[in-house]
Amino acid sequence: NAGVTQTPKFRILKIGQSMTLQCAQDMNHNYMYWYRQDPGMGLKLIYYSVGAGITDKGEVPNGYNVSRSTTEDFPLRLELAAPSQTSVYFCASSPGTLYSPLHFGNGTRLTVT
């Protein structure tokens, strides 16, 4: 009954470091998404994927990269971390059928100092 699993839960990075946020789902969902949420704000779409090997940019893709080699996993890579990337990151998935809602992970809180 895992659903969408994100790791780590918390991370502190120094400016210029890189890291990968992990996301895995066990619901056999085709669609997966990465969002960021800044304090007091809504969710902004970073990247999304409609299936293994297919990814596309969302609203705020700069500074991030993704890959989707399997249906289950959708990691988000931060290269050269900047303070502006301090945020809470949510991974989500959906079956991709019309009218499907998103299933969210518990989030990763990232601080870049």
Partner 1 sequence: QKEVEQNSGPLSVPEGAIASLNCTYSDRGSQSFFWYRQYSGKSPELIMSIYSNGDKEDGRFTAQLNKASQYVSLLIRDSQPSDSATYLCAVTGGFKTIFGAGTRLFVKA
Binding site for partner 1 (CB under 8 A): 31, 33, 35, 40-45, 48, 50, 56, 58-59, 90, 94, 96, 98-102, 104-107
Minimum separation from the CB atom of position 71 to partner 1 (A): 16
Measured from the CB of residue 20, what is the shortest distance to partner 1 in angstroms? 20
d(CA 102, CA 81): 27
Q: Which is nearer to partner 1, 33 or 64 (CB)?
A: 33
Residue 22 or residue 79: which is nearer to partner 1 going by CB? 22
Cβ-proximal residues to 42 (8 Å cutoff; 6+ apart), any chain: none
Residue 26 Cβ vs partner 1, minimum distance, rounded to whole Å: 17
C-beta of 112: minimal distance to partner 1 in Å? 19
Which regions of 1-107 does DSSP assign to beta strands (E)? 4-7, 10-13, 19-25, 31-37, 43-51, 54-57, 64-66, 76-78, 87-94, 103-104
Euclidean distance between CA atoms 106 and 51, whole angstroms: 22
Cβ closest to partner 1, residue 2 vs residue 14: 2
